[in-house]
Chain A
Amino acid sequence: MKKIIFLSSILGLSFALSSQNIEGQEYLLTNKTNTYGISVLSLIDPYLSPLVYSGNGFQFEHESRRLLSLANTNLSIQSKINIEAAYLLNPAQTSSMTYMAFDYGFGMHYHFRPMKGLLLMAGGSADVGLGYKEVIRNINNPGNVDLATNLNLSGIALYDIQLPKRTLRLQLAVETPIIGWMYVPLQGASYYEMFGLGNLSNISHVSSLINRRGINPKLTLDFPFKHSVWQIGIKYQTLRYSANDMVFNRNELSLLLGTTFDMAGFGGWKRIAPPNFISPNK
């Protein structure tokens, strides 16, 4: 891991140095952030149990952000991948739940720069999430799948804090689903009936603020440390959705730690690397 961080930092640094040699040339950098987190979470899945399950989880998040083009430095695109696993118990600790989730999101933001050091981004994103919950002791309803895709409102605020020797970056990102689609099983029906016998009626639902609502503020601080820029943060996620006479709920608080760095990419017809950028493949 240290090697990867070191090499990434060197690459970013070498780009910064090299760019000074290419007068008049501008290149777009891609900001990449990888964070690992530990979480405390609680969830209710009435298909599996009426009880609140709570426990701890582990997550990895990769976020990538770059300006759309050199011609327009007010628009950026963002992609995110989140992978999570958690182990939860019912209140009496007589039953456990295993939870796994994968989420991919893609968004676009418009940039505002109201004052020096402050960058505001507002826009939207689309995401698709797939999760699986399993309560192994249940009978004929031991598992349930979360599957949904959403269009979200998204906002990000970045503020650079100038210290005498370094610059810290404070970032607050918030996202909330507005409209989308979700799968919800039929209450009282087994997966055998739904997928074995093909009773798929009423498992597909349009979601909106009426039946699916959530918000996930994330506050992070970037700070240079030795050859890297590290990021620590805290993230809260709350999601509630309802269909087929069931209300599902998930609340999660995560502590995050990772690194963030800027990278340049070359490829295709238009992004030929300048000769002073030496590819390891040549």
Chain B
Amino acid sequence: MKKYILIVLVSIIILPSCMNEAVMEPNTHEGNFQALWKIIDTRYCYLDYKKINWDSIHTVYENQLPSATGQIAFFDLMGKMLDELKDGHVNLYSDFDLSRYWKWFLDYPSNFSSDLIYTTRYLGQSYRIAGGMNYGKINNGKIGYIYYGSFSDAFSDGNIASILNSFSSCHALIIDVRNNGGGSLDYSKQLASYFFKKTTVTGYIRHKTGDGHSDFSNPIKIVTPGHPTIQWQRPVAILTNRMSFSATNDFVNRMTNAPNAIIVGDKTGGGGGLPLSSELPNGWLVRFSSSPMFNLAMGNTEFGIDPTIFVALTAADQANGIDTIIERAITALK
């Protein structure tokens, strides 16, 4: 008995060395740089996919550290290093600024004007609002139109049932998610569920399982359930532009598998990597893509999803109060 007690006591004393926490870098510019570089090196999910030489980037930016005196200069340098990832889901948060990479939409035509959709040709001024959705009938009452600007805006089954009931006389529906920068994946799934008759596999997700750039878990199915009581079984068009990002990208990916859906407009902005966050020794927060999401063919959705029908908003139409993309969707839904 004494022997066993001794073994337990010795184990208690010795075994802590088997579980050591990761060593945190000191709170200096050098330490924070190393911590940030390592977080991306071990946990960012697209280094290999985007063919980024992160070791080389370490050398380039470490050499610039001595010239980055002061908090703001150091923050700008770290933000610039993160820009090398070309990812809208990567940000550095400090008390005084937010680093961001916005070229995924700034380098492209906007293909959206909120002034146009609120003209009398479309929603006008008497549209209704429910669950963050602005809606009304267009095209002489033949088509229902919903503008949904953020997947952070909550909606309920009751909201959707009311909206779809108001469109009972319409032969088709348009859901406009242009300039919708994303939000909750739960809302993305829920909104898509109204257009599926049965539970359908619509994509996959993986996550980093180790420090290696290609250490990923096996793909996990992303399914879109068919809503048990509320379903729109007539044609539906989803309008997209480059600012359709993140959870909106996920929604569009789901809808590419819906039975009566088409995607009209520009390629989405992407943002296919589910972001997580971590912290630096100085307390700054870093957000980064951690879990890549894929379409049904295991294609990466990070750089966006092509529409069924490519359409751009023309300057001439815009000058005449016409939204080229809505008009093309109306034509396609006839």
Contacts and interface: CB of A to CB of B under 8 A. Distances in A.
Q: How many residues of A sit at the interface, in one of the four size bands? A: 35 or more
A209 B4 CA distance: 14
A209 B277 contact: no
Given A188-B291, A193-B274, A196-B186, A247 B24 contact: no
Contacts of B275: 139-140
Interface stretch (A58-66, A86-94, A98-106): A86-94
Interface stretch (A46-54, A109-117, A165-173, A222-230): A46-54
Contacts of B15: 209-210, 213
A134 to B, nearest CB: 13
Interface stretch (B107-115, B117-125, B281-289): B281-289
Contact of A245 (B16, B210, B223): B210
Contacts of A141: 276-277
Given A188-B207, A188-B208, A193-B274, A51 B24 contact: yes
Contacts, number: 116
B24 A90 contact: no
B95 interface: yes
A199 interface: yes
Given A188-B291, A197-B221, A213-B15, A140 B283 contact: no
Interface string B198-228: 0000000101111000000100111100000
A263 interface: no
Contacts of B93: 137
A95 B220 contact: no
B19 A241 contact: yes
The 7 A-B pairs at the shortest CB distance, nearest first, are namely A92-B283, A94-B283, A188-B208, A189-B207, A242-B19, A139-B277, A247-B21
Interface of B: 8, 11-12, 15-16, 18-22, 24, 27, 35, 43, 93, 95, 185-186, 205, 207-210, 217, 220-223, 274-279, 281-285, 287, 290-291
24 contacts: A49-B279, A51-B283, A91-B27, A94-B95, A95-B279, A139-B287, A140-B275, A140-B276, A140-B277, A140-B290, A141-B277, A176-B12, A178-B8, A187-B209, A188-B43, A190-B274, A190-B291, A193-B274, A196-B186, A197-B221, A209-B8, A211-B19, A213-B19, A249-B21
